[in-house]
Amino acid sequence: MAEPLRPATTAVHAGRPPHEPDQPLNGPITMASTYVAGGDLEYGRYGNPTWTAFEDALGALEGGRCLAYASGMAAVTSLLDLVALGDKVVVPRHSYNGTLVSLGDLELRGRLSTTLVDLTDTDAVVAACEDAALVWFESPTNPALEVADAPAIIAAAHDAGARVVVDNTFLTPLLQKPLDLGADLVLHSATKYLAGHSDVQLGAVVTRDEELATVLKGRRDVQGNTPGPFEAWLALRGLRTLHLRVERAQANAAELARRLADHPLLTEVRYPGLGGMVSIVLPTADQADLLVRSTALWVHATSLGGVESSFERRRRWKSEPATIPEGLVRLSVGVEDVEDLWADLSQALDGVARPSG
Ligand SMILES: *Cc1c(COP(=O)(O)O)cnc(C)c1O
């Protein structure tokens, strides 16, 4: 076909066996720790056809070469490993917790230095890029849902000779394509929207830089932070409906954010206008804790991006930055009927708002 495929078609078709007699429509799960010698694969840690199918599909969606990892954090630590001794990393103060914890640990051990920035202050981020080797951001941020001026930050990082990593877990390639914006590397926790059913742990990196891809592949070969074949298969199965799930989750999130904006109990409703994540702020931690215990459909759980709606008071984690309000509850809006989600959430909010007696 002459025209490049649209993302929905790519999500459904990429990474499948060829249309030939007796080929299955879906590639099998190849359970193998070793292969007959003399080919390209050789050993289980070096490659697996089921990983490759997932990598081909996500690579096609992001527009680069993809490498799958055992988890999002396995991908994060592999990319942080690219930083040379003593290099400076610029990262938003509201980033994924595991990323901040890893950076803190590396800094404590003298491996690198970290500069935390307020992602909404573009001038400050641009200034911090000046002597950086790596600029790393998520947009929107977790769980503050702040949005970056990505083109300005990427340009400043490149002017400084720094590499740019964008963690695209929250928006997926359907809503944001960081490589098209100039980023060098895209990272995913495929555990979230890409797999989409709260049953898989998987990570991925995508880049257009072939040299970098070769370095990362070589390290993955020896570090062994490789995915399980079943996990890669489940993530690819999830990816087939990514566009449908993201579309519904986003429509539900936008509608809930609109209705929540009028709720007298909430001091703040944050929704960046796209994606399926909404953060609400209750006046106190106790009220937020009561809310997450008062619903029937919404499940109190960490993680996000599943078909089922879940929510969490983020400050229940000791490592969450103190700049996140105590009463902030992050909603991962699922693909259920929005009226049922609203009925469950609004009765719980009304119960919290009613003075107990
Ligand atoms: C969950 C998450 C990660 C880590 O991924 P795991 O699959 O849990 O290891 C990284 N970045 C973001 C934005 C995440 O939400």
What does the alpha-carbon distance between residue 154 and residue 350 come to, in Å, rounded to a whole number?
44
What pTM was estimated for this model as a whole? 0.97
3-class SS of residue 20: coil
Collapse the DSSP code of 72 into the 3-class scheme (helix H, G, I; strand E, B; otherwise coil) and give the result: helix
Domain hosting 139: range is: 7-239
Strand arrangement, sheet containing 134-138: 65-69, 203-207, 185-189, 163-167, 134-138, 88-92, 113-117
Whether residues 110 and 186 share a domain: the answer is: yes
With a 6 Å cutoff on the Cβ, whether 188 touches ligand 1 is no
Element (H, E) at 250: helix 242-260
Please check whether residues 247 and 322 belong to one and the same domain: yes
Q: Is 127 within the bounds of a domain? A: yes
Question: Ligand 1: which atom is nearest the Cα of residue 304?
Answer: 15
- The answer as to whether 168 is a domain residue is yes
Write the single-letter amino acid at 184. Answer: D
Q: How many domains does the chain have?
A: 2
Q: How many CB atoms lie within 10 A of CB 116?
A: 18
Asked whether 165 lines ligand 1 (CB < 6 A), one says: no
CATH number (domain holding residue 229): 3.40.640.10
User: Side-chain half-sphere of 172: how many Cα atoms within 13 Å?
Assistant: 32
Q: Are 138 and 274 within one domain?
A: no
pLDDT of res. 3 = 78
| Statement to judge: residues 93 and 215 lie in one domain | yes
Q: Compute, in angstroms, the gap from residue 132 CA to the centroid of ligand 1.
A: 24
Looking at the chain, how many residues does it have? 357
pLDDT score recorded for residue 4: 86
Active-site hit among 69, 88, 163, 167:
167
Task: Please tell me the residue having the least CA distance from ligand 1 atom 8.
Answer: 72
**Are 224 and 256 members of one domain?**
no
Same domain? For 224 and 327 the reply is no
Q: Ligand 1: does its nearest atom lie under 6 Å from the Cβ of 167?
A: yes
Per-10-residue mean pLDDT of the chain, 357 residues long, equals 88 98 98 97 98 98 98 98 97 96 97 97 97 97 96 98 98 98 98 98 98 98 98 98 98 98 96 98 98 98 97 95 96 98 98 80
User: For residue 225, how far is its CA from the centre of ligand 1 (angstroms)?
Assistant: 15
Tokens at residue 102, please?
């890893």
Q: Pick the closest to residue 73 from 187, 183, 154, 178 (CA basis).
A: 187
Phi, psi of 142, rounded to the nearest 5 degrees? -110, 125
